[in-house]
């Protein structure tokens, strides 16, 4: 079945690293995405990873994928106050014309 789970809250100190975790159930997922949503705003695509990859790095962002455990993580290095937002993990379902199934979102709070 299609289900994506995330922890709901994460609080970190400015300058520390943040790690947001996600688990998914559909082993046929081909692409997994991370979107960022600031209050009252739209969904900003941060990064994505293909299911045959283990890791993808893009500046301060590192995505790790453990396909065996169906576990995805997003690491934000040197977290800044501007990173405070809700982060959604999403999987793309093949055969479903690539509709996205989202997790509940992790609210990241960055404090001084």
Partner 1 sequence: AAGVIQSPRHLIKEKRETATLKCYPIPRHDTVYWYQQGPGQDPQFLISFYEKMQSDKGSIPDRFSAQQFSDYHSELNMSSLELGDSALYFCASSLRLSGSTDTQYFGPGTRLTVL
| Binding region for partner 1 (CB under 8 A) | 30-31, 33, 35, 41-45, 48, 50, 88, 92, 96-105
Distance CA 22, CA 105 (A): 9
Tokens of 17: 């690293």
- Which CB sits closer to partner 1, 79 or 92? 92
- Which CB sits closer to partner 1, 4 or 13? 4
The least distance separating partner 1 from the CB of residue 2, rounded to whole angstroms, comes to 10
Judged by DSSP in three states, 14 sits in coil
The least distance separating partner 1 from the CB of residue 5, rounded to whole angstroms, comes to 11
Distance CA 83, CA 76 (A): 9
- Which CB sits closer to partner 1, 44 or 81? 44
Beta carbons within 10 angstroms of residue 39's beta carbon: 7
The least distance separating partner 1 from the CB of residue 87, rounded to whole angstroms, comes to 11
Distance CA 28, CA 63 (A): 19
The least distance separating partner 1 from the CB of residue 110, rounded to whole angstroms, comes to 20
């Amino acid at each position: 079945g299609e289900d994506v789970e995330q922890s709901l809250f994460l609080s970190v100190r400015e300058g520390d690293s943040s790690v947001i975790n996600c688990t998914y159930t559909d082993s046929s997922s081909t692409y997994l995405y991370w979107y960022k949503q600031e209050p009252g705003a739209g969904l900003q695509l941060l990064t994505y990873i293909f299911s045959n990859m283990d890791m993808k790095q893009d500046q301060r962002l590192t995505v790790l994928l453990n396909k065996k455990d169906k576990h995805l993580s997003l690491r934000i290095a040197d977290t800044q106050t501007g990173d405070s937002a809700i982060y959604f993990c999403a999987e793309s379902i093949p055969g479903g014309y690539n509709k996205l199934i989202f997790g509940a979102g992790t609210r990241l709070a960055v404090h001084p």
